[in-house]
């Protein structure tokens, strides 16, 4: 383990690994996202594998294809000194190749529920020799609509003796293999599954439901929808070393935010259900290598991101439920490192913000979007620092030749002050039409939803007064994106044109019986220039 970088185990690893190595019963591990749950089940799983058997002995279920790929990668590292074969089964890739991989004598299979059900129904894969079933991110699989698929898989991994039906009324179904369930939270759906299928499971809980890492500073900014994109660019400009994820509620919004940021000169990429699997894998590769430091993503697509040193998470729009918020911001502040969570909160999202505070008991601090003047000052300082740090690599004869040109003679006539001003203007060309914008629709006030008069209060100082924090007062320990020169249009418009809730991808919406029913939810536009009757725009629930 030390040879591959595992030197100090996390709390969940310290408690889970010894138990899982010695015991053969069912197990529940509850720990926040990013606490090392993969290694917590991966180490004992690999130790218990019989490498001489060329059939699948362990099955790991994952909510998304990206996470499945990451689990395979980590298990291969953990088993690098053992002759164990591992394969992944997930949607968006060739059936034939995945079937061939499984038939090559793999001992561990990592799968998404939808694709696994397909292969089981086609009788090209069976669970006869599975000794250990691992449900990773179980709460996410339930929230994404995979309950029926999980039930079907759990039934197939349980014994089929004559007493099976009778056992359902007395307690959990008797398993033919042991089940390890790992989750960030114990949701009602998870509780029902465990009561039905897990037999007296040993439970380890590292953090209580809804709890968040104390390493994460959580700030919120009260901004109207049509100003969110402009506010986001100001945040990006004020944090030049940003390395993180911008979360959007739908894949349509995700694509639009990426497009708008790209038009304004930022190096960004996106992860959402409309992208092909190869595109998503390529995006992940670039992001991990820090070739791209800003990713715009939906909750489902970002589930596979396992990057330990993210500095920031931005909620461009708040999620519909508190657990998704916990999962989102848990992407930063991992392994003892500090992290920052920024939420752009519109008037209609204040009630959601209150729900987040009430359930998580988090210290939500009100921040202030950097002003245009602050952004310009920061960019000028960066330009000056870059100029001073720049080393001359031009050959002397090239410089001497340039001195004979008319261009050099024109530059030579400029005073030092004129030359500096022209250089700075060149750096700020795309900002020349921008004006100051009052972002905060509450004009510095704490939302009434979070004040002492509300059901719960948040962001309070030790003296009991509501706290707020200017953006620049928190220091510069965070970081963010490599990008081209900033160049947004003037004014506060230019936000994404539409919000529309869609099916995230085939894995999210499809169970063994096809898409589930939909319902409608109304949500306002985020672009003042988008001419659409608000009453006609709805959202389909894409569980």
The shares of helix, strand and coil residues in the chain, as percent rounded to the nearest 5, are 40, 15, 45
Give the pLDDT score at 27.
97
How far CA 155 is from CA of 29, 151, 198, 325, 353, in Å, comes to 21, 6, 11, 32, 39
Give the pLDDT score at 301.
67
User: Model confidence over 371-429: pLDDT tens digits?
Assistant: 888 887 877 777 776 676 666 666 777 777 777 888 878 788 888 888 777 777 776 66
CA distance 159 to 178: 11
The contacts of residue 97 (CB under 8 Å, 6+ apart) are none
Find out whether 494 and 433 touch, Cβ atoms under 8 Å. no
Give the pLDDT score at 444.
86
CA distance 371 to 434: 11
Q: Residue 501: how many CA atoms within 13 Å on its side-chain side?
A: 21
What is the CATH code for 2-205?
3.40.50.300
Give the pLDDT score at 430.
60
Q: Is 100 exposed, middle or buried (0-12, 13-18, 19+ CB in 10 A)?
A: exposed
Give the pLDDT score at 226.
93
CA 328, distance to chain mean position in Å, is 5
Task: Report the topology of domain 216-369+437-474.
Answer: Rossmann fold (3.40.50)
CA distance 319 to 331: 15
CA distance 49 to 46: 5
Find out whether 485 and 427 touch, Cβ atoms under 8 Å. yes
H or E, element range at 510: strand 510-511
Find out whether 414 and 458 touch, Cβ atoms under 8 Å. no
| Residue 432 φ then ψ, to 5° | -70, -25
As given in the structure block, the two tokens for residue 156 are: 């197939």
CA 219, distance to chain mean position in Å, is 17
Q: What are the sequence ranges of the domains in the chain?
A: 2-205, 216-369+437-474, 373-431, 506-540
User: Comparing C-alpha atoms, which of 128, 124, 138, 265 is closest to residue 192?
Assistant: 138
- 253-267: burial string, b at 16+ Cβ within 10 Å, e else: bbbbbbebbbebebe
Q: Are strands 520-522 and 538-540 parallel, antiparallel or unpaired?
A: antiparallel
As given in the structure block, the two tokens for residue 135 are: 């449900």
How far CA 380 is from CA of 191, 243, 387, 483, in Å, comes to 55, 21, 10, 16
Find out whether 356 and 320 touch, Cβ atoms under 8 Å. no
Could you list the pLDDT tens digit for every one of the 543 residues in the chain? 666 666 678 889 999 999 999 998 999 999 877 778 899 999 999 999 999 998 999 999 999 888 898 899 999 999 988 889 999 999 878 888 888 888 888 999 999 999 999 999 988 888 888 999 999 999 889 988 899 999 999 998 876 543 344 344 445 555 568 999 999 888 888 999 999 999 999 999 986 544 566 789 999 999 999 999 999 999 998 888 899 999 998 889 999 999 999 998 889 999 887 888 788 888 988 998 899 999 999 987 666 577 878 999 999 999 988 888 988 898 888 777 889 999 999 999 999 999 898 888 888 999 999 988 888 787 777 777 667 666 666 677 777 777 788 887 878 888 888 877 777 777 666 655 567 788 999 988 888 888 765 554 333 333 333 344 444 433 333 333 333 333 333 344 444 433 333 334 433 444 444 443 444 343 444 444 433 333 322 222 222
What strand order describes the sheet that includes 269-271? Answer: 269-271, 294-297, 244-247, 312-315, 339-345, 216-222, 364-368, 468-470
Find out whether 182 and 136 touch, Cβ atoms under 8 Å. yes
How far apart are the two ends of the chain, measured CA to CA in Å?
38
As given in the structure block, the two tokens for residue 97 are: 């190749």
Query: Could you tell me the pTM of the whole model?
Result: 0.60
* Residue 440 DSSP symbol: B
As given in the structure block, the two tokens for residue 479 are: 């970081």
H or E, element range at 109: strand 108-111
CA distance 6 to 137: 22
As given in the structure block, the two tokens for residue 347 are: 């008037």
How far CA 504 is from CA of 86, 254, 320, 432, 484, in Å, comes to 27, 11, 14, 39, 30
Give the pLDDT score at 478.
36
The contacts of residue 399 (CB under 8 Å, 6+ apart) are none
Query: Can you give 359-426 as a three-state secondary structure string?
Result: HHCCCEEEEECCCHHHHHHHHHHHHHHHHHHCCCCCCHHHHHHHCCCHHHHHHHCCCHHHHHHHHHHH
Find out whether 206 and 11 touch, Cβ atoms under 8 Å. yes
Give the pLDDT score at 159.
60
As given in the structure block, the two tokens for residue 413 are: 């006539």
Give the pLDDT score at 278.
84
H or E, element range at 270: strand 269-271
Same fold, 2-205 and 216-369+437-474: yes
Find out whether 539 and 499 touch, Cβ atoms under 8 Å. yes
CA distance 539 to 521: 5
Give the pLDDT score at 495.
42
User: Comparing C-alpha atoms, which of 346, 288, 306, 352 is closest to residue 325?
Assistant: 352
As given in the structure block, the two tokens for residue 101 are: 């991989």
């Amino acid at each position: 383990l030390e040879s591959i970088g595992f030197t100090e185990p996390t709390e969940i690893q310290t408690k889970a690994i010894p138990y899982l190595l010695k015991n053969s019963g069912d197990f529940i591990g509850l720990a926040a996202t990013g606490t090392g749950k993969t290694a917590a089940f991966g180490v004992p799983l690999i130790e218990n594998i019989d490498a001489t058997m060329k059939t699948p002995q362990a099955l790991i279920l994952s909510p998304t294809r990206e996470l499945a790929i990451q689990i395979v990668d980590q298990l291969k590292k953990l088993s690098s000194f053992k002759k164990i074969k591992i394969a992944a089964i997930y949607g968006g890739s060739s059936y034939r190749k995945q079937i061939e991989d499984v038939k090559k004598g793999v001992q561990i299979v990592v799968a998404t529920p939808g694709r696994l059900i397909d292969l089981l129904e086609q009788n090209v894969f069976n669970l006869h020799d599975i000794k250990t079933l691992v449900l990773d991110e179980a709460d996410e699989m339930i929230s994404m609509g995979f309950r029926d698929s999980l039930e079907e898989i759990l039934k197939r991994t349980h014994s089929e003796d004559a007493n099976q039906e009778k056992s359902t009324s007395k307690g959990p179904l008797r398993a033919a293999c042991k089940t390890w369930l790992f989750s960030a939270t114990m949701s009602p759906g998870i509780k029902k599954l465990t009561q039905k299928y897990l037999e007296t499971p040993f439970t380890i809980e590292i953090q209580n439901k809804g709890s968040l890492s104390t390493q994460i500073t959580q700030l919120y900014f009260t901004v109207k929808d049509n100003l969110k994109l402009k506010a986001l660019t100001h945040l990006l400009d004020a944090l030049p070393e940003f390395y993180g994820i911008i979360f959007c509620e739908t894949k349509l919004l995700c694509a639009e935010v990426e497009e708008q940021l790209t038009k304004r000169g930022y190096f960004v990429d996106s992860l959402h259900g409309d992208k092909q699997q190869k595109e998503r894998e390529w995006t992940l590769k670039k992001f991990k290598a820090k070739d791209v430091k800003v990713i715009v993503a939906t909750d489902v697509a970002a589930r596979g991101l396992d990057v330990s040193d993210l500095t920031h998470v931005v909620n461009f729009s708040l999620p519909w439920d508190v657990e998704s918020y916990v999962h989102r911001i848990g992407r930063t502040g991992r392994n003892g490192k500090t992290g920052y969570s920024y939420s752009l909160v519109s008037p209609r999202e204040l009630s959601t913000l209150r729900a987040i505070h009430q359930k998580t008991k988090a210290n939500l601090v009100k921040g202030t979007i950097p002003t245009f003047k602050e952004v310009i000052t920061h960019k000028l300082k960066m330009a000056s620092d870059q100029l001073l740090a720049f080393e001359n690599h031009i050959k002397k004869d090239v410089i001497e030749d340039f001195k004979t040109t008319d261009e050099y003679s024109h530059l030579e006539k400029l005073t030092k002050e004129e030359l500096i001003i022209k250089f700075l203007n060149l750096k700020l060309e795309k900002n020349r039409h921008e004006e100051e914008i009052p972002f905060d629709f509450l004009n510095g006030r704490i939302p009434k939803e979070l004040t002492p008069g509300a059901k719960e209060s948040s962001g309070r100082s030790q003296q009991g007064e509501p706290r707020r924090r200017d953006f620049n007062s928190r220091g510069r320990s965070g970081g963010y994106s490599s990008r081209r020169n900033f160049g947004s249009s003037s004014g506060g418009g230019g936000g994404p044109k539409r919000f529309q809730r869609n099916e995230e991808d085939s894995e999210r919406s499809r169970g063994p019986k096809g898409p589930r029913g939909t319902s409608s939810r109304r949500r306002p536009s985020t672009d003042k220039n988008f001419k659409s009757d608000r009453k006609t725009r709805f959202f389909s629930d894409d569980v």
